[in-house]
């Protein structure tokens, strides 16, 4: 099979269960998925409400917990209202395809997440892809776009495979100049960026100028689900017309209880976020010192570019043999020739663990001859 020969074949793997293997690829950035307080909050919610919600939100599955979570998210994101979906993928899919349609125009960054791409396709709006974080290209495309219909600029806040931050101030300026709305996917920014961890808009001081603040509960928050925070009319419209909301079974009580506790901890314990960013800076500096090629950035996502897919797979295998789990990221997730090891740090990684990972990278690089390594 050609897919196997090119190193693109995928298999399910059991992660997190082997104590001899240290995971350096998790999106559990703050370590809250294993935090005792978060687990106890989930248990309390299950004891009070049961293990499942029993239906969709518009039938029998709307609990006071759901509404409390939405109010908490809205306040955190500095919006009037919020709506919770069963996953981040469903949040993007439903929001974009519901708010945009034929005759409208969407401007999407070239490296946006697959859920954004699929939402754009489902909307049947004209989708114009601009070069990654290229504001000159975005402006040219805005200038030449049809004058009729709604306009939406949609971007990841932190790009999931590169780890760089969207140039949101410039995006907002262009949106206001050309009459477009702005939607930011903060899946990898919530809990990581901003004074209270609210994400990219808070980081740049632009919370009031972003129309749609999307995020997930499954990464820094350590639970599962997705959300969109926006104005009350927009959220009310999504409640009534977004098919991925109407026809989904609502989030289970344990998930909501965990998310509520985690958001409170994120808001009030900035030291977790600082530990995370310090760990990321330490690992990035170590990899650069050894001569590895990294995408520039300052977030916990470190993209170590290897090149060919089969070479990245071999590199990942060598890391695992040395006790470090960091899978290869290959096409179609990233462009041809840019396969990589996507390293993610967490707030609960110790310096000893990070040093062990750096040693594994050094050994794998030396064995495979990757990059201009300095050993």
Residue 66: active-site member: no
Q: Which two tokens stand for residue 239?
A: 């409640």
Distance, CA of 260 to CA of 221 (rounded, Å): 9
**Catalytic residue, candidates 188, 211, 318, 349:** 188
Residue 219: active-site member: yes
Question: At 50, phi and psi to the nearest 5?
Answer: 100, 180
Residues 6+ apart with CB under 8 A from 12: none
Distance, CA of 121 to CA of 28 (rounded, Å): 30
Q: Which two tokens stand for residue 118?
A: 């699929």
Strand bridging mode 181-185 / 212-216: parallel
Residue 231: active-site member: no
- Chain centroid to CA 274: 19
Cβ pair 144, 152 in contact under 8 A: no
Q: Give the number of other CB atoms < 10 A from CB of residue 268.
A: 10
Distance, CA of 371 to CA of 346 (rounded, Å): 26
Name the one residue in this structure whose structure tokens are 């201009």: 372
DSSP one-letter string for 230-298 = E-HHHHHHHHHH-HHHHTSPPPPHHHHHHHHHHHHHHHH-HHHHHHHHHHHHHHHHHHHHTT--B---S
Cβ pair 15, 204 in contact under 8 A: no
Half-sphere exposure of 248 (CA within 13 A, CB side): 23
**Catalytic residue, candidates 26, 86, 160, 218:** 160
Cβ pair 302, 343 in contact under 8 A: yes
Name the one residue in this structure whose structure tokens are 């708010």: 99
**Catalytic residue, candidates 79, 151, 219, 349:** 219
Distance, CA of 100 to CA of 228 (rounded, Å): 15
Active site residues: 160, 188, 219
């Amino acid at each position: 099979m050609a897919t196997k020969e090119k190193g693109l074949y995928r298999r399910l793997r059991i992660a997190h269960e082997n104590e001899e293997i240290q995971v350096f690829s998790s999106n559990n950035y703050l370590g809250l998925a294993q935090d005792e307080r978060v687990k106890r909050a989930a248990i309390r919610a299950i004891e009070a409400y049961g293990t499942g919600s029993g239906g969709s939100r518009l039938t029998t599955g709307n609990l006071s917990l759901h509404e409390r979570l939405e109010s908490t998210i809205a306040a955190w994101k500095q919006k009037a209202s919020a709506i919770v979906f069963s996953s981040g993928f469903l949040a993007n899919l439903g929001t974009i395809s519901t708010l945009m349609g034929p005759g409208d125009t969407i401007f999407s960054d070239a490296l946006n997440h697959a859920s954004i791409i699929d939402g754009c396709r489902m909307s049947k709006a004209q989708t114009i892809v601009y070069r990654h974080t290229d504001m000159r290209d975005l402006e040219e495309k805005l200038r030449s776009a049809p004058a009729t219909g709604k306009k939406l600029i949609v971007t990841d806040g932190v790009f999931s495979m590169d780890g760089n931050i969207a140039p949101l101030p410039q995006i907002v300026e262009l949106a206001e100049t050309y009459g477009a709305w702005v939607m930011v996917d903060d899946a990898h920014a919530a809990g990581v960026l901003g004074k209270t961890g609210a994400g990219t808009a808070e980081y740049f001081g632009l919370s009031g100028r972003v129309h749609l603040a999307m995020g997930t509960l499954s990464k820094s928050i350590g639970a599962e689900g997705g959300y969109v925070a926006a104005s009350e009319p927009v959220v009310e419209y999504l409640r009534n017309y977004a098919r991925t909301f109407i026809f989904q079974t609502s989030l289970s009580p344990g998930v909501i209880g965990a998310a509520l506790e985690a958001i409170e901890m994120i808001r009030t314990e900035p030291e977790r976020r600082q530990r995370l960013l310090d760990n990321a800076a330490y690992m990035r500096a170590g990899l650069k010192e050894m001569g590895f090629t990294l995408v520039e950035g300052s977030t916990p996502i470190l993209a170590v570019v290897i090149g060919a897919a089969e070479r990245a797979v071999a590199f990942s295998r060598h890391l695992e043999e040395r006790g470090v789990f960091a899978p290869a990221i290959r096409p179609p997730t990233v462009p041809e020739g840019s396969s990589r090891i996507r390293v993610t740090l967490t707030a609960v990684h110790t310096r000893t663990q990070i040093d062990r990972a750096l040693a594994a990278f050094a050994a794998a690089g030396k064995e495979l001859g990757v990059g201009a390594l300095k050993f």
